[in-house]
Amino acid sequence: MARLSHISASIAILALMMGYASIKSQVIRMKPYENTDPYMSFNSKKILETGPDYFIIEWKDKSRKTIQLNIRPPFQKNDVVGFKVLNIKGCYELTEYHIWESREAWYVKAFLSGIPLFVVLFLFFRDFRFNFRRFIFEKKRPPHA
Amino acid sequence: MPDLFSHALGGYILLRPRWQAFLIPSIFMLGCIFPDMVRGPLLMITNLIKTAPEYSYPFLILHSPLPLLVQAWLVSWLFEKTIRRRVFLNLLAGIILHLVLDAGQKAYHISYLWYFPFSFENPINGLWWADDGFFVTAVFIMVAGSLFLIRRRHTPKR
């Protein structure tokens, strides 16, 4: 009974946390758009357009925002970029930027991560077995124990 | 993020044979990859079906410290009473190591929602971007490989 209580309580707490995150999703999403003076930064933004001294990104209300720089942007249209700019009297200075790798490269990495996952799960199930009747992991007895 | 190679190898590097009295290596290693094991597939699915980012936040918080503590509590109760406390502590130790490595990942906002549910601010700027992690992985592979050879040499033959 105690097991059931603990398992139910922890699942309930996790569900409540996930529900809270869902309710607050708009607040979380708006975080990068707060306090954008003098620094403005985004973890990843698709570059909609670039020019000789500006680039354009999508803003919070789906509109387009032009970021005026004093240099040519070191990235191109359709790049996904993390960047930080400093507002100096209406013109922005690009202080940091990072061009994200392609989505395909991320999927390859995720696929390769299956190798350590397999190894760790192999080590785990070498030590434990799941008893479906009792709904519990039991420690395997070592050979000749 | 440091990939699962880095997380798993980081756990292996920290394991000491003489700690086996109170450490359960397989549980500790499971803890080292646990946060990504839970959240990763869920995020991949939301990415594949191309939903708006806000629909992934309920899954994103599964990687935050407090929800991870609750998950460790939940998982420990899936084990027998005699080892339950050790499972919880080993799993938590692996999770903490995972979070320490992920704290090195650069993000201006949101990140892993470190203070969730109390705040959505990101207190950790990080050092490297998630897809710059190749050098981190390479370092871990070299260190873990060297350690494996050293430990093998010093293990008494039966």
Q: Do B80 and A137 touch (CB under 8 A)?
A: yes
Residue A118: pLDDT band (50, 70, 90) is very high
Query: Three-state DSSP class for B12?
Result: helix
In the predicted model, what is the mean pLDDT of residues B40-56?
73
Task: Give B 16-45 residues with CB within 8 A of chain A.
Answer: 24-27, 29-30, 32-33, 36-37, 40, 44
The pLDDT score that the predictor gives to residue B87 is 96
The pLDDT score that the predictor gives to residue B1 is 46
d(CA A9, CA B152) in angstroms, rounded, equals 44
Higher-pLDDT residue of B43, B1: B43
pLDDT for A74-100, tens place per residue? 999 999 999 999 998 888 999 999 999
Residue B51 has pLDDT above 70, yes or no: no
CA distance A128 to chain B (A): 9
ipTM at complex level = 0.87
In the numeric block, which tokens belong to residue B3? Answer: 């990939």
Give CA separation, A27 vs A23, A32, B131, in Å: 9, 10, 27
Q: Using a CB–CB cutoff of 8 Å, tell me whether B106 touches chain A.
A: yes
B147: CB partners within 8 A, 6+ apart: B12, B13
Q: Domain A36-99 has what CATH class?
A: mainly beta
Domain boundaries, chain A: 1-34, 36-99, 102-145
CA distance A143 to chain B (A): 16
Please list every residue in chain A whose beta carbon sits closer than 8 Å to the beta carbon of residue B138: none
The pLDDT score that the predictor gives to residue A66 is 94
The pLDDT score that the predictor gives to residue B55 is 74
CB atoms within 10 A of CB B72: 22
CB A85 within 8 A of CB A40: yes
CA distance A133 to chain B (A): 12
CA distance A52 to chain B (A): 26
Residue B156: pLDDT band (50, 70, 90) is low
Higher-pLDDT residue of A144, A20: A20
Q: In terms of residues, how long is chain B?
A: 158
Q: How many domains does chain B have?
A: 1
Q: Using a CB–CB cutoff of 8 Å, tell me whether A16 touches chain B.
A: no
Residue A145 has pLDDT above 50, yes or no: no
Task: Give A 101-120 residues with CB within 8 A of chain B.
Answer: 101, 103, 105-106, 109-110, 112-113, 115-117, 119-120
Residue B66 has pLDDT above 60, yes or no: yes
Q: Mean pLDDT, chain B, as a whole number? A: 87
The pLDDT score that the predictor gives to residue B157 is 60
Residue A138 has pLDDT above 90, yes or no: yes
Residue A62 has pLDDT above 70, yes or no: yes
The pLDDT score that the predictor gives to residue A110 is 78
Q: Do A18 and B62 touch (CB under 8 A)?
A: yes
Provide the residue range defining the domain that includes B41.
Answer: 4-154
The pLDDT score that the predictor gives to residue B158 is 52
d(CA B130, CA B2) in angstroms, rounded, equals 7
Computed over its alpha carbons, how large is the radius of gyration of chain B?
A: 17
pLDDT for A7-55, tens place per residue? 999 999 999 999 999 999 989 988 888 877 788 999 999 999 999 999 9
